[in-house]
Chain A
Amino acid sequence: MRRVGVVALNTFREAVRDRVLYNLVFFALLMMAAAIAVGQISIGIEQTVIVSLGLSAISVMGLLISVFIGVALVSKEMDKRTLYALLAKPVRRWEFLLGKFAGLVLTLAVNTAAMALGCCW
């Protein structure tokens, strides 16, 4: 389980260094800020519009992050041939995969928390 944790932590570090991630979070926050303007032109349901648009922003941006980074997790390791060096060590393949999954889920947790804060603010 320790090996899974190490892979997860490195995946998290790798993901947070990705600029695409920050761009997507920025656009999500921008969408939530725009929700205030959209809410003001709606009559009586301002709060519902803000919450709905905020949750949609979290969902769409989260989907983009999870699909694009999720698919690149394994294929990038194979393309760069770093996977071979890693699997030569006493790491089982399922541990590698579980670590990658845990790392990205951790990244998504931080991202959704940041976007939820933006939505509540």
Chain B
Amino acid sequence: MIYVKHSLEGSDAAVLVAVYFIWLKLALIVALSLLFSCFTTPLLAILFTVGLYIVGLYVQELRNLPVEVMNPAMAAFTRWLSYLLPNLRIQRAGPGRARASGSRRTDPAKHAVRVIYCAIVLTAAAAVFSRKNLK
């Protein structure tokens, strides 16, 4: 950005906020990969983690499925699933979008949800690893 603009502005700090949220997302992925690697083979753990990452990108779509044309049980299941899975989509930062969606991106609730989710996954991983038979 400095190469192109020859200077940095205050609004460019939104990029650093986006990088922080990417880092939080990566921490969550590490926790998930640790959880899966505790009870499966490395290849399966990679597949599970990548699969969960891809599903995590579309959690919002899963929540907003057209429930009126679906079976009520299926609608309840997809809604339940969307709350269970982590939301891994990040709003892209940019000079225009920074002002438009800045308040949403810096939402402390979103930050807290990721940290709590990470703690829960790590606790589950520790529980599985503690009971694992290493013989």
Contact B22 A71 (CB under 8 A): no
Interface SS of B by simple majority: helix
Tell which of B1, B26, B53 touches A119, judged by Cβ atoms closer than 8 Å: B1
Contact A51 B1 (CB under 8 A): yes
Compute the total of residue contacts between A and B using a CB distance below 8 Å.
135
Give a binary string over A75-97; 1 marks a CB under 8 Å from any B CB, 0 the rest. 10010000110010000011011
A-side contacts of B37, CB under 8 Å? 70-75
Interface flag for A6 (CB, 8 Å): no
Give a binary string over A30-74; 1 marks a CB under 8 Å from any B CB, 0 the rest. 000000100100000011101110110011001101111011111
Could you tell me the distance between the alpha carbons of A48 and B19 in the complex, rounded to whole angstroms?
A: 15
Could you tell me the distance between the alpha carbons of A109 and B26 in the complex, rounded to whole angstroms?
A: 9
Interface SS of A by simple majority: helix
**Closest chain B CB from A20 CB (angstroms):** 14
Interface flag for B59 (CB, 8 Å): no
**Contacts A71-B36, A75-B37 given: A55-B22 contact, CB under 8 Å?**
yes
Tell which of A55, A84, A115 touches B93, judged by Cβ atoms closer than 8 Å: A55
Contact B26 A71 (CB under 8 A): no
Contact B92 A50 (CB under 8 A): no
| A interface residues, how many (CB within 8 angstroms) | 46
Interface residues of A (CB under 8 A from B): 36, 39, 46-48, 50-52, 54-55, 58-59, 62-63, 65-68, 70-75, 78, 83-84, 87, 93-94, 96-98, 100-101, 104-105, 108-109, 112-113, 115-116, 119-121
Interface residues of B (CB under 8 A from A): 1-5, 8, 12, 15-16, 18-19, 22-23, 25-27, 29-31, 33-34, 36-38, 41-42, 45-46, 49-50, 53, 90, 92-97, 122, 125-126, 129-130, 132, 134
